[in-house]
Amino acid sequence: MIDLRTPGEIEAMRPAGEFVASVLKATRAAAVPGANLLEIDALAHRMIRAAGAESCYVDYHPSFGASPFGKVICTSVNDAVLHGLPHDYTLAKGDLLSLDFAAKVDGWVSDSAVSLVVGGDETPEDARLIATCEQALEAGIAAAQPGGRLGDVSAAIGDVAHRAGYTVNLQFGGHGVGTEMHGDPHVPNDGRPGRGFPLRPGLVIAIEPWLMAGTDEIYTDGDGWTLRSADGSRAAHVEHTVAITPDGPLVLTAR
């Protein structure tokens, strides 16, 4: 079922968006050469406790996960695409890291992700991959206008990706957000404009482009969670939680 939120409920979702943005800002700053992925997860865990928030990940166990996730943030490194399970790995300069975080505050969820190159030593290829994801996210948000269709968002994302020469995987994408992390509707990262669910005021969705440098095929790592590119190429992933309002899209997780 697709829920439409009242203006008051969208206002009530703002603290969750602000908290998620603050955790991503802090964990991004902590992602320096020599930092361990478990330390980044521990930082996010401390911030959750201090805020009285709830993790959306620690007990999360969907059909595609081998077991409950057990951590509070996704840390995907280099060829890891999505759902990167934090483990004993020390970041090195030049690693491409995606941080994906969702939490519940006062009963409402927000979800967001960011990609970066550790130590700021970007190759032209990594810079282009991350920039394309960010441009696709901006295009998807700009297309999330009341009176439009969900396909407008998907088509805007896919158009940016294809123009940059990347292929798009449709197995995972954006989703509805509300009192739970994942809900209807599914928001593919490619599609046809003018098709799909109407973009009505009150709809809240996570828009999340993710791309791999050389393929659109993925496989699941032996940890049962981390998704990796089939050819070992590097990946980037960005995301915002966005509410459709009469005045246009409202980014609840703006950093």
Which residue numbers belong to the known binding site? 83, 100, 111, 175, 182, 208, 239
Question: How far, in Å, are 16, 160, 207, 233 from residue 154 at the CA level?
Answer: 25, 10, 9, 24
Residue spans of alpha helices (H) in the chain: 7-30, 37-51, 124-142, 150-163
CB atoms within 10 A of CB 59: 10
> Residues forming the annotated binding site for a divalent metal cation?
100, 111, 175, 208, 239
> Residues forming the annotated binding site for substrate?
83, 182
- In whole angstroms, give the CA distance from residue 157 to residue 50: 36
Question: Distance between the two ends of the chain, CA-based, in angstroms?
Answer: 30
Angle at 113 between CA 184 and CA 207, to 5 degrees: 35
- Three-class DSSP category at 73: coil
72 in Cβ contact with 231 (< 8 Å): no
- Three-class DSSP category at 8: helix
Q: C-alpha dihedral over 145, 13, 158, 139, to 10 degrees? A: 50
- In whole angstroms, give the CA distance from residue 56 to residue 47: 14
Q: Which residues pair with 130 in a beta bridge?
A: none
Beta-carbon contacts of residue 52 (< 8 Å; ≥ 6 apart): 105
